[in-house]
Structure 1
Amino acid sequence: MYPLRGAVRHYSWGSHTALAELTGRPAPTEEPEAELWLGAHPVAPATVDTGDAAVPLCDLIARDPEGELGTDCARQFDGRLPFLLKVLAVEQPLSLQAHPSRAQAREGFARENAAGIPLDAPRRNYRDDNHKPEMVVALSRFEALAGFRAPAETVEFLRDLGVSELTPYASELGDNLDATGLRALFTAWMTLPTKSLVGLTDAVLSGCERYLEARSGSEDEFTVAARTALELGLAYPEDPGVLASLLLNRVSMEPGDALFLPAGNLHAYLRGTAVEIMANSDNVLRGGLTSKHVDVPELLRVLDFDSVGVPWVRTRRDGHERLYALPVREFELWRVRLHNSGTPEPATAAFAGSAPRILLCVQGSVQLRCDDRILGLGRGEAAWVPSSDPELVVRSSHATVFVATPPIRSEST
């Protein structure tokens, strides 16, 4: 096991304080810090301190894939770490987006390669040939748009807003309360000519203001959705994503809550700090709420309009550990909360060997032990544990740690 230093990514929607405070650096930072990447993606690999040198994790794995990943993992994922762990610090809303399936990613990647689009070109949609299912777990109160709301509820919301310009859209969706109706409405709004878009958006935002005034003090689902549309309208005027937000579930997450975003799930993160884990990919199809490349036709190719409702993740508890288990082969995530409950001895949790692991301490401090080797982690610090290491024991009197790994069995002690 080795100390692991994440790579900070600077995007305009990031925070000047959250990641710096987590990792014990001076705040506020000069540039906004949006993401801390803890993985082996070649765009921004984390760095492993081996004691002799600081080595990018992707290079360390490339030297000895079977030793670092294990024979099965190395063979199954072509010698690459199959997941990417991140910390997100969302100060401003980020893009309305979805991710492709594996088949869509392979086709899109090959298509853009054949067209001669450089991998680092801003207009590139597919930067690799992998899918990107992902899960986000709140560290603070975390606000998001995630998945399409049930069509019948959206019709009720659009009618409640009392905006005459929305009447034909609400009626059309009301006549087609299924994926076909959602696709037609979303497509219509996302492809409106600029003049029509501005007129409809202005009318909708005025309607949201009236709606909130009439329901002062209310915090029901529709009130929060109307307030979100107004906030997005201020941040991204003349953006079709403002209208699209009316179709999505508005979600407020408390620490420990988790959402799973499979291929085709439309979502946007609005505010807060969270841990995110995904397949090792950087493929994003954007539809709005961003200054980055937007490709609505390609987004429409990958969207899943059949999936409605909030995509909450069910968890399984086992002693100190909480498992976020998902229907993916690339990763699973454990949250380990260690408290000694007034006893003199620290609490412990044990993880069997045979698979690679990345540990991130987000509260307190922990001691990691593999055989006779010991490594301490404080808040905001991480570790790389290769497959060749034996059982890992995590000890602390008070700490919270996330453990990311390809699916393996774990047991508490």
Structure 2
Amino acid sequence: MDRLENTVRPYAWGSRTAIPALLGQEPSGEPQAEVWMGAHPGAPSGVDRGTGGTLTLDAVIAADPQRELGAGVVARFGAGLPFLFKVLAAGEPLSVQVHPDLARARAGFAAEEAAGVPLEARERNYKDANHKPEMLCALGEFTGVCGFRAPLSTVALLERLGVAGLRPVIEVLRAKPETEALREALTWVLTLHPDTVARLVGATGHALLRLAGESTDAREALMLRDYAALADHYPADPGLLSALLLNHVVLAPGEAVYLGAGVPHAYFRGLGVELMANSDNVLRAGLTPKHIDVPELLRVVDFAATEPGVIRPRSVAGHPGEELYPAPIDEFRLSRYRSGGWPLPTDTPQIVLCTGGRVVLTDATGEEVPLAPGQSCFIAADSPAVTLTARGADATAFRATVVGAQAGACWGLSEAA
């Protein structure tokens, strides 16, 4: 068991208070957006293996992947940790974005490598050859947008705004079949002249605030205010218009959403844990000063209207204490443990993160690793049996691992929530 030394990413959209509050530290005054836990080369966690210095987790795994990951995981996913675990703290909206599927990620990465596009170049789309399905679980109220709203529902909203400049997209959404309508609407938004964007965003932001003030529905008013805030943050950016095509989502603490390939989404505000395949591939559709590659984005987006399914944890047959957040992906598996002492399944790599109270990990040799909120631990596949003890009524730990050759049987869910 290795306590992790993790990197905090200071992206501009990060909250200045949420991560320091979790860690029990004084705010620095700078944004703190993400804490990365894992072996991604962009910010690998550090571990102390008694060598007199800190090693990076990616180097430790590369030195003996069979021991660290287990033979089944290596055979299925290769010699790298298949997932990346994060704490995410949004103080301002993140970009509207999508992630590629595995085939598109491999093709796009290979093409940019062959073309000699530097990894840090502004116009670079693919940082690696992996897909990036992800799950976000809220630690407090968390808001954002996820997946396309049904076209006629968006028409109803846009009609109520009464912004004349939105008539072209209203007509497209009303007249065309769903997939064609959503593709044409997003293309229209992303190819507007910059002067037109600025005028439309300003007018739409004012209309949203007017409608929010008139609404007697608290949930609707929150949605309208969230959309209106985008106009303040990005007044000359098409992101507000892109976001209006998407479902507004509010997660309560402990609720989660799963985002597969091609699903457009953006996070607005809140603190959560995020688990994803080990990738940093992002294509953007607004709310960002970063590069937007419209043709590539349109190749990746899944133009299907969906209801954002809120995921709540379920108990797992044969695994006492575990509350699983089911997702249709094998590279990662997210579960939660609360007060009590519980044995952890072994034979796969795992990272345990404490988000409340005090958590202690104890292996069969008696070694203990105590975790305070915000602290995490890597457990190698060959570790002796480990018990997780959550001490106190508010003690909570999240566990990230793999659905691999050994872990596949852990997906059996009971009906108890």
- TM band (smaller chain): over 0.9
Tell me, in whole angstroms, the C-alpha distance in 1 between the residues paired with 2:128 and 2:309.
Answer: 26
How far 1:155 moved relative to its partner?
1.2
1:107 partnered with 2:107 = yes
**Mapping for residues 347-362 of structure 1, pairs under 5 Å:** 347-362=340-355
2:41 corresponds to which residue? 42
SS of corresponding position for 2:400: strand
Retained in 1: the 8 A contact 2:242–2:285? no
Quote the residue 1:388 is aligned against.
Answer: 382
- The letter of the residue matching 1:309 is E
Kindly indicate whether residue 330 of structure 2 is the aligned counterpart of residue 329 of structure 1.
Answer: yes
CA offsets 1:252-286 (integer angstroms, 9 cap, x no match): 11111100010001011111100000000010001
Report the equivalent of 1:264.
262
Q: Is the 8 A contact 2:390 2:397 kept in 1?
A: no
Cα distance in 2 between the residues matched to 1:86 and 1:369: 23
Aligned equivalents of 2:37, 2:305: Cα separation in 1: 30
The residue that corresponds to 1:196 in the other structure is 196
Compute the displacement of 1:226 (Å): 2.6
How do 1:55-134 and structure 2 match up within 5 A?
Answer: 55-134=55-134
1:314 Cα deviation from its structure 2 partner: 5.1
> Residues 177 and 314 from structure 1, CA distance in 2 versus in 1: closer, same or farther, beyond 3 angstroms?
farther
Asked whether the 8 Å contact 1:147–1:311 carries over to 2, the reply is no
Structure 2 distance, partners of 1:311, 1:268, is 15
Alignment CA distance shift 1:378-1:180 (3 Å): same
1:154 aligns with 2:154: yes
Question: Residue 207 of structure 1: CA displacement?
Answer: 2.2
Distance 1:65 1:211 in 2: 56
| Letter matched to residue 348 of structure 1 | G
Identity %: 44
CA RMSD of aligned residues (A): 1.7
Distance 1:235 1:286 in 2: 16
Contact 1:232 1:242 in 2 (8 A): yes
Match of residue 291 from structure 2: 293
The letter for the 2-side match of 1:253 is L
Q: Is this contact kept in 2: 1:265–1:307, CA < 8 A?
A: no
Out of 121-130 and 165-174, give the one that drifted further: 165-174
> Counterparts of 1:214 and 1:138 in 2: how far apart (Å)?
29
Deviation at 1:388, TM superposition (A): 0.2
1:370-409 aligned at under 5 Å gives the runs 370-372=363-365, 373-398=367-392, 399-407=395-403, 408=407
Q: Match of 2:123, SS?
A: coil
C-alpha deviation, 1:195, in angstroms: 2.4
The farther-off stretch of 195-204 and 271-280 is 195-204
* 1:288 alignment partner, SS class: coil
Q: What runs of 5+ residues in structure 2 fail to find an aligned partner? A: 413-417
Partner letter of residue 281 of structure 2? N
Q: CA deviation at 1:169?
A: 2.4
TM-superposed deviation, 1:42: 0.7
Q: Which amino acid aligns with 2:373?
A: R
Q: Which residue, out of 277, 280, 283, partners 2:281?
A: 283
Is contact 2:338–2:390 with CA below 8 Å preserved after alignment? no
2:145 pairs with 1:145: yes
Per-residue deviation, 1:356: 0.6
How far is the alpha carbon of 1:119 from its aligned partner? 1.2
SS in 1 for 2:275: strand
Deviation at 1:30, TM superposition (A): 4.1
Contact 1:146 1:311 in 2 (8 A): no
Q: Is the 8 A contact 2:202 2:235 kept in 1?
A: no
Moved more, 149-158 or 83-92: 149-158
TM (norm. structure 2) is: 0.92
4+ aligned runs moved over 6 Å, structure 1: none
Q: 1:77 to 1:296 in 2, by over 3 A?
A: same
Distance in 1, matches of 2:376 and 2:168, equals 53
Residue 100 of structure 1 contacts residue 302 of structure 1 at CA under 8 Å; is this kept in 2? yes
Whole-Å separation in 1 of the counterparts to 2:128 and 2:147: 24
**CA distance, structure 2, for counterparts of residue 225 and residue 375 of structure 1:** 42
Asked if structure 1 preserves the Cα contact closer than 8 Å seen for 2:61 and 2:80, the reply is yes
3-state SS in 1 of match to 2:85: strand
- Local SS of the residue matching 2:244: helix
